[in-house]
């Protein structure tokens, strides 16, 4: 996703096509939105609908796209890469956007002697992985998802939506422990259980093997969890093998400076999940796309600098609305902080907002779609919070610091955070003739990231169009 966006950003700044661009991708598909794979698994989107840059675009923009081509080595001295097919391809500048790979823990039974995954074990990282899971659904009655992080929960909800009995096995004391506090984790687990996803916490997996009643995951307490299919979602690791072999500096990922340039070689750049900037490795789409735009500026005018990204994590699962941002693991007794909380577990609602110096520095918004946009905007812009703090949790409070209805938001309000699209740009698209969310996406890219803003974009668009011209008024948000 980072590499495809970079090529688009570079061509947009290069109308005379001074740059000869070659794109090499190990996957056989053209660029697609990896964030929406859970929607494909759930059946609310097709693989074709998550394509981000059609192959025809590359040809039209005079960009050489070569899919199914794996790079085996980077030869820095000769400024060329060697493909696994034995071909050398030269470069003046090399951009590494190799992303991450799924991490498979050393648990007995997951990997065969030949190093390949067991036939009943899958990871959930690529479109090929997703297709492999879909191909097995007719033979799967019970599935276990190993890992209760973002990707694991999206996979679990997608499988449950297909009628599969699903259980999430997670070693921590709560789901999404990197983003949620204990109370939020409990509410999320309760919500998922109500949607048909069982949750087992504090459970360490020991092996996956054949038992008296069929295949299952064996836990450290001796329990056996039946599983026709085991989905491994235990996190990812940046793909840094090429860079390490080329003797670039590696921390947790490829170390880059503010120009997104390797600190080892000024002709090599890295963006996305394989890049480490200021000790930070981002695993989300919005920072990757921000980096792509900055690097395109660096290569065309040389003045841009990357200053880091504000991280907002969104869970994209049907009937679960969750956003987490900033630092929420705080001491409630800290007199410099205000911590707002509201919980209604029966309705799947938990909201926590951390305020320091009159600004939102962290928040967990579970089941609160009415105010999440306002809170996210305040966090992104480090803007002053309203005097009446209730407005941050309860919509309709008079001192809301801004309207909660997306249709009434000001033009400068960011409605699509992944792509930095404002309400004003959506309204401009409407004036130019956009009649649907798809039309807006085609001209602004709004909704093509995590997809969480689709309902808000539809509301802004509907309000912007004259009453006698129909637009999308009802939106089915992808899982």
User: Which residues in the chain land under pLDDT 70?
Assistant: 396-406, 466-479
Residue 479's pLDDT is what?
46
Residue 269's pLDDT is what?
98
The per-residue pLDDT for range 253-268, each reduced to its tens digit, is 999 999 999 999 999 9
94 with 241, same domain? Answer: yes
Domain housing 212:
121-234
First CA to last CA distance, the chain: 19
291 with 438, same domain? Answer: no
In a domain, 141, yes or no: yes
What is the CATH number for 204? 3.50.50.60
In a domain, 348, yes or no: yes
In a domain, 112, yes or no: no
Residue 373's pLDDT is what?
85
The per-residue pLDDT for range 355-376, each reduced to its tens digit, is 999 999 999 999 877 788 889 9
Instruction: Please report how the helices 454-464 and 423-431 are oriented relative to each other, as an axis angle in degrees rounded to 10.
Output: 50
126 with 178, same domain? Answer: yes
Q: Given 193, 218, 234, which residue is the final one in a domain?
A: 234
Specify the pTM. Answer: 0.89
Quote the number of domains for the chain: 3
Residue 25's pLDDT is what?
96
29 with 62, same domain? Answer: yes
Residue 359's pLDDT is what?
96
Residue 374's pLDDT is what?
87
């Amino acid at each position: 996703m980072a590499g495809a966006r970079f090529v688009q950003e570079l061509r947009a700044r290069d109308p005379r096509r001074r740059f000869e661009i070659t794109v090499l991708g190990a996957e056989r598909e053209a660029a697609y939105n990896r964030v929406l794979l859970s929607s494909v698994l759930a059946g609310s989107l097709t693989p074709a609908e998550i394509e981000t840059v059609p192959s025809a675009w590359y040809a039209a923009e005079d960009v050489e796209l070569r899919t199914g081509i794996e790079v085996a080595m980077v030869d820095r001295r000769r400024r060329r890469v060697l493909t696994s097919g034995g071909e050398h391809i030269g470069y003046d500048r090399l951009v590494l956007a190799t992303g991450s790979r799924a991490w498979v823990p050393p648990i007995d039974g997951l990997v065969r002697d030949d190093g390949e995954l067991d036939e009943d074990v899958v990871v959930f990282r690529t479109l090929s992985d997703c297709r492999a899971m879909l191909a097995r659904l007719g033979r799967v009655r019970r599935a276990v998802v190993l890992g209760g992080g973002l990707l694991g929960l999206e996979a679990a909800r997608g499988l449950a939506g297909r009628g599969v009995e699903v259980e999430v096995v997670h070693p921590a004391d709560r789901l999404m422990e990197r983003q949620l506090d204990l109370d939020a984790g409990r509410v999320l687990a309760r919500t998922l259980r109500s949607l048909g996803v069982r949750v087992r916490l504090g459970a360490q997996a020991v092996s996956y093997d054949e038992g008296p009643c069929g295949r299952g995951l064996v836990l450290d307490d001796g329990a056996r969890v039946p599983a026709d299919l085991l989905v491994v979602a235990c996190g990812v690791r940046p793909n840094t093998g090429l860079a390490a072999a080329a003797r670039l500096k590696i921390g947790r990922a490829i170390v880059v400076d503010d120009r997104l340039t390797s600190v080892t070689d000024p002709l090599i750049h890295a963006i996305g999940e394989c890049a480490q900037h200021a000790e930070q490795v981002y695993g989300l789409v919005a920072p990757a796309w921000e980096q792509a735009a900055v690097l395109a500026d660096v290569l065309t005018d040389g003045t841009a600098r990357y200053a880091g990204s504000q991280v907002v994590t969104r869970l994209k699962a049907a009937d679960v609305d969750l956003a987490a941002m900033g630092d929420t693991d705080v001491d409630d007794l800290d007199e410099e902080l205000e911590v707002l909380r509201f919980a209604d577990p029966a309705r799947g609602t938990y909201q926590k907002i951390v305020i320091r110096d009159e600004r939102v520095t962290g928040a967990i918004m579970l089941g609160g779609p009415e105010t999440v946009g306002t809170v996210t905007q305040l966090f992104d812009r480090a803007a002053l919070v309203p005097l009446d703090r209730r407005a941050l949790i309860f919509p309709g409070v008079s001192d809301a610091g801004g309207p909660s209805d997306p249709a009434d938001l000001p033009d400068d309000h960011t409605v699509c955070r992944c792509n930095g699209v404002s309400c004003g740009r959506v309204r401009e698209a409407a004036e130019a003739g956009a009649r649907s969310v798809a039309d807006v996406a085609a001209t602004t890219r709004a909704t093509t990231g995590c997809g969480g803003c689709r309902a808000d974009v539809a509301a802004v668009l509907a309000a912007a169009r004259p009453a006698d011209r129909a637009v999308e008024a009802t939106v089915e948000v992808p899982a």
